[in-house]
A and B are shown apart, each in its own frame.
Chain A
C-alpha cells in the first residue's frame, strides 16, 4: 500500500522529466504508476496472503505522526477504483491530448493528484489524512488551471481551490478535535466512546461536514465543480468520476461510523444531499454544453451518494457503496465519450450536434450503455443501485421518496438529452468530418461501459464487490442483495413514476427550458462567490491605500510605536526577567564608541550615501564586537551581509528621488523623540532580558558533542548543518521564497515572459470548426 501511494509521486518526478522527451507516450509511464493500486484488488478478491492490513511508516514519531495505511475493504475498494480510472485516464489522454501539450507538467500533476488521492483513501492517521486531503486540493488546482493562459481555467482553478481549502481548514480543526477527544491520531485507534462523550463532538462533526460538503460540491458549495471542467477532459473524468469529488463522500462514509449516532449527522447530510440531487439535476437539464451537463450531473449524483451515506445505517451504506461503483463506471465513460465527441466534431454544444450514431458507432454504443445506467434503466448497474436508493428513502418517509423520485426523473431526462446528439439528422459544425475515434480513445470508455453493463446483468459480481466493504463500513449484517428483480415493490412503482415523469420532461423539453429560464434566480452561489472575492479585493486595496500610502517616516512611526507598546506591555507584565548588570568588559569600549558614532552619523547625514556609510559603520562595529566576543563566524557573516547590503542599497538608490527634508512641526519632533527613546530603551531592555537564562544553558552540550556527533570542530557550523539542520532547511526555504517574492515585485510591469517559460512557444493548433468553450450559464 505504501508503494501504491508513493509510486505515483516518484513517477510524477520521472514524468516531469520525461514529458518533453517522450511527448505523449509519457502517458504509458503514467499509467504504470497505478499498477500497485490495481494490485490492491488482489486482497479484495480473497487472494490468500495478499492482504495488506496495516502498514506503518514512521514519520515524526515524537508527534504521533506516522504514515499509517490501513487496507480495510472499503479503502482497498476505493483505491482500486482510483487505480482503474487513473490508469484509464492516463491511457486515454495519450490519444486525446494535442501534440503541443506540456506533457511533463500534465502527467506530473495527474500522478501527484492520483498519489495524494490514494494516500487520502488509505490513510489511517488523521493528520496524514488531512495532509493528503490538502494535497488533492492543491494538485486539482494545478490540474484545473493547466491551461493557465485561459482566464476561465484560472478562475475555475482558483474557485475550486478557495472552496475546497475552506473545507480543508475545517477538516484540520475537526481532525485536531477528534484526535484530542478520541485520544489517538489514528482512525482505527480512536476511543469512540470518549469522543462521543466529549464536548468537542458537535463542533468536530460540523467541521467535518463543512469539509465533506465543500469537497463533494454539495449545496451551496457546488459552484466550483462545474467550472472545474476547464481542465482537459481526461482530467475531468478522473476528478469528477472517481476521485477528488468523492473524497467528501469518502469522509462521510468513514466518519459516519464515528458520528453516525448523532441525529445531527443524518439530519444535516440527508436533506443537503437530496437538495443537491434535485438542484444539480435541474441545472444539468438546462445545460447546452455536454461537459457542463456532466459536471452538474456529478453534483447531483454526489448528492445522492451523500444522502445515502448520511443515513448512517447498514442499508444506506450498502446502497451507497453499490452506487459508488456504478457512478464511477458510467460517469468516467461518459466523460470519455464527451471527449471523443469534442475531439471528432470540434464542439460540445448540444444544439450543434446530431446524428452522430452513424459516424461514431462504437462511441454510440458506449454512450448508450453509460447514459442508460445513469438514467437507471434495466438491465444496467445504475438501475439496481437506484432501486436500493429508493428502498432506503422509502424507509425515511414520503417526503424523502418524493424528492428522490423528482431528482431521479430529472436525471432520467438529462441522460436522454445527452443521448440526443446521436439521433436526428447528421448535424455537425462546418469543416468537421466526424469519424470513429482511434481505439486509444474508445477503448477505455468501452471498458467502463462494459463494467456498467456487467454490474447490471451479473448482480452477483457487483454484490461481491460491494460486500468487500461490508466489514469496514459495518453493513455485514444487512440482508439485502443486488438483483434486477425484487418483485413488485414500492421501489419499483416509484421507478415507474420516475420514468413517467422523466418522459414527460423530455416530451415537454421546450416548456421546461422556458420555465428554467424564468426560474433562474438572480442571486446564486456564484454571484455570492464573486461578490465575496470582489469585496476582499476592494477591502485589501483600501487597506493598502490607507496604510501603505503613508510617507515612509509615518510608516516607521507606526511600526516603532506598535513595537514599543507591545514590548512595554511585556516589560510591565514580567519585570523579573532582568537582573543586575555585571561589570562591562573594558576592551569593548572603543567598539561601543564606534557604534554610537555610526548611529549619530546616520542622524546627521544629509544625503543617503552618507547615511548608508554611517549605517555600515555600525555594522562593522557589530562585527568587531562579535570578534571581541570570540565569535569569528558571526563577525564574518556580519561583514559580508554588510557588504551585500551596501551594494543593494546603492543599486536601489539609483532609482530613488533625491532625499528631501520634510518640515516637521514641534509636535512631530516631540513624538519622534519619544518614539526614538522608547525604541532605544526597548532594545536595551530586550538585550538585557536575553542575558539572563531562565533555564540552564544548552551550549555546553553542543561544545562537548559537536566533534563527537557532527564530526566538525566549528561548533556554529555543526549546529547549523546537523544539530539544528531542520531549522536551517526552513531558513533557506524562507530565503528562497523571499528572493522569489522580491523578484516578482521588481519585475512587475516588465514586458516579456515569466522566467522558466523558456523554450519555443507551441504553434497554435486551430483546425477548422474550432470553438472556444464559452462562459457557461452558471447556476
Chain B
C-alpha cells in the first residue's frame, strides 16, 4: 500500500437532523403560541440572573438551569432545538473558559483562580462594577446548560421500543 491508513467509515448522512423522529410531545398550537413569549422572557431572566449573580441571588448555575428549562420548553413546543449546535459541545467550551479565567491570574503571579474586580464609570450607565468572576460564572453557565440540555435532548429523542415483561 502506498500509505497506511484505515478504510474510512462509510459516508453517513448529513449530521443535522432538523426533524428527528416526530416527537410525541410537540405540536400543540396553544403551547407554541405561549412558549414564544415565555421562552424569550425566561431566557432574559436567566441572563439577568447570570449578570447580577455576583451581588444578588443568582449566578451561573441557576441561570444555566433556567436557560435549560427555556430551551426544553422550546424543544417540546416546536420539535427542534433552538440551539444551532449539539449542546454537548458547550461543555468543553465552558470548562475551557472557566479554566482559562483561573489561569490568567496564575500566570500574572497571583493564586490560581484569584478573581479581580474594579469599577468603570460612564456617562450612560453610571458607576458599573466589573469582575473577572463573571467570566468564570459564564463558564459554569455554559457547562450547566450544555450538560443538562444534552441529557434532556437525548431523553426526548429516545424512542420507546423495548418492551419488558408485564407491559401491555
- Which residues of A are in contact with B by a Cβ distance under 8 Å? 96-98, 100-101, 147, 149-150, 153, 232-233, 342-344, 346-347, 632-633, 636-637, 640-641, 643-644, 647-648, 651-652, 654-655, 657-658, 660, 710-714, 716-718, 720-722, 725-726, 728-729, 732-733, 735-736, 738-740, 742-743, 746-747, 752-753, 755-758, 760-767, 769-773
Contacts and interface: CB of A to CB of B under 8 A. Distances in A.
Given A712-B54, A764-B8, 11 more contacts: A97-B5, A149-B7, A346-B1, A643-B65, A711-B129, A721-B136, A729-B113, A736-B143, A739-B146, A765-B3, A769-B1
Interface residues of B, number: 74
Interface string B62-100: 100110110010000000000000101101101100110
Given A647-B152, A725-B102, A714 B55 contact: yes
B95 A722 contact: no
A761 B10 contact: yes
Nearest to B112: A726
A717 B156 contact: no
A761 B1 contact: no
Contacts of B59: 633, 714, 716-717, 720-721
B127 interface: no
Nearest to A652: B155
B56 to A, nearest CB: 6
A725 B150 CA distance: 25
B136 to A, nearest CB: 5
A96 B160 CA distance: 48
Contact of A100 (B1, B5, B102, B148): B5
A711 B131 contact: yes
Contacts of A655: 158, 160, 162
A153 B112 CA distance: 39
Contact of B55 (A712, A765, A769): A712
Interface in B7-43: 7-12, 15, 24-25
Nearest to B87: A739
A444 to B, nearest CB: 17
> Which has the most chain B C-beta neighbours within 10 Å: A96, A101, A637, A747?
A637
Given A739-B147, A746-B155, A752-B12, A711 B66 contact: no
Contacts of B133: 710-712, 717-718, 721-722, 725
**The 10 residue pairs across chains A and B that have the minimum distance between CB atoms:** A711-B117, A739-B147, A655-B160, A98-B3, A725-B113, A640-B65, A712-B54, A721-B133, A770-B1, A746-B154
Given A644-B68, A714-B55, A739-B148, A766 B7 contact: yes
B5 A98 contact: yes
B54 A100 contact: no
Given A712-B54, A739-B150, A765 B62 contact: no
Contacts of B151: 648, 739, 742-743, 746
A717 B58 contact: yes
Contacts of B112: 726
B1 A342 contact: yes
Given A149-B9, A637-B61, A720-B59, A660 B115 contact: no
23 contacts: A149-B8, A347-B1, A636-B58, A644-B65, A652-B155, A655-B160, A716-B59, A717-B53, A717-B133, A718-B54, A718-B133, A721-B136, A722-B115, A725-B136, A736-B95, A738-B147, A739-B91, A739-B147, A742-B154, A758-B15, A763-B8, A766-B7, A767-B1
A283 B132 CA distance: 61
B16 to A, nearest CB: 9
Nearest to B130: A711
Given A728-B140, A739-B146, A755-B86, A660 B166 contact: yes
Given A640-B62, A725-B136, A632 B95 contact: no
B144 A732 contact: yes
A328 B150 CA distance: 48
B9 to A, nearest CB: 6
A713 B55 contact: yes
Contacts of A771: 1
Contacts, number: 223
B166 A100 contact: no
Given A736-B91, A763-B8, A640 B55 contact: no
A711 B54 contact: yes
Given A655-B160, A657-B164, A725 B2 contact: no
B95 A732 contact: yes
A743 B88 contact: yes
B59 to A, nearest CB: 5
A740 B143 CA distance: 11
A232 to B, nearest CB: 6
B38 to A, nearest CB: 13
A710 B133 CA distance: 8
B4 A773 contact: yes
A722 B12 CA distance: 45
Contacts of A651: 152, 155-156, 158
B57 interface: yes
B54 to A, nearest CB: 4
Which of B49, B60, B151, B163 has the most chain A CB within a 10 Å cutoff?
B151
A720 B131 CA distance: 14
Contact of B53 (A714, A722, A764, A770): A714
B57 A633 contact: yes
Nearest to B119: A711
Interface centre among B7, B94, B137 (most CB of A within 10 A): B7
A733 B5 CA distance: 34
Contact of A732 (B56, B113, B143, B150): B143
A729 B8 contact: no
B130 to A, nearest CB: 9
Contacts of B148: 644, 739
Contacts of B99: 729
Which of A654, A757, A771: most chain B Cβ within 10 A? A654
A644 B143 contact: no
Contacts of A654: 24-25, 158, 160
B56 A764 contact: no
Given A636-B58, A654-B24, A648 B155 contact: yes
Contacts of B131: 710-712
A771 B163 CA distance: 46
B166 A147 contact: no
Contact of B154 (A657, A660, A725, A743): A743
Contacts of B126: none
Given A636-B58, A636-B62, A747 B2 contact: no
Contacts of A739: 88, 91, 146-148, 150-151
A383 to B, nearest CB: 33
Contacts of A738: 147
Contacts of B25: 654
A636 B57 CA distance: 8
A62 to B, nearest CB: 10
A678 to B, nearest CB: 30
B4 A746 contact: no
Nearest to B73: A647
Contacts of B12: 752-753, 761
B6 A147 contact: yes
A711 B115 contact: yes
A620 to B, nearest CB: 15
Nearest to B59: A717
Contacts of A764: 7-8
Contacts of A742: 150-151, 154
A10 B68 CA distance: 34
A725 B102 CA distance: 8
Contacts of A752: 12
A254 B106 CA distance: 32
Nearest to B163: A657
Given A713-B56, A728-B140, A736-B94, A765 B2 contact: yes
A681 B97 CA distance: 43
Contacts of A735: 91, 143-144, 147
Nearest to A771: B1
A742 B87 CA distance: 13
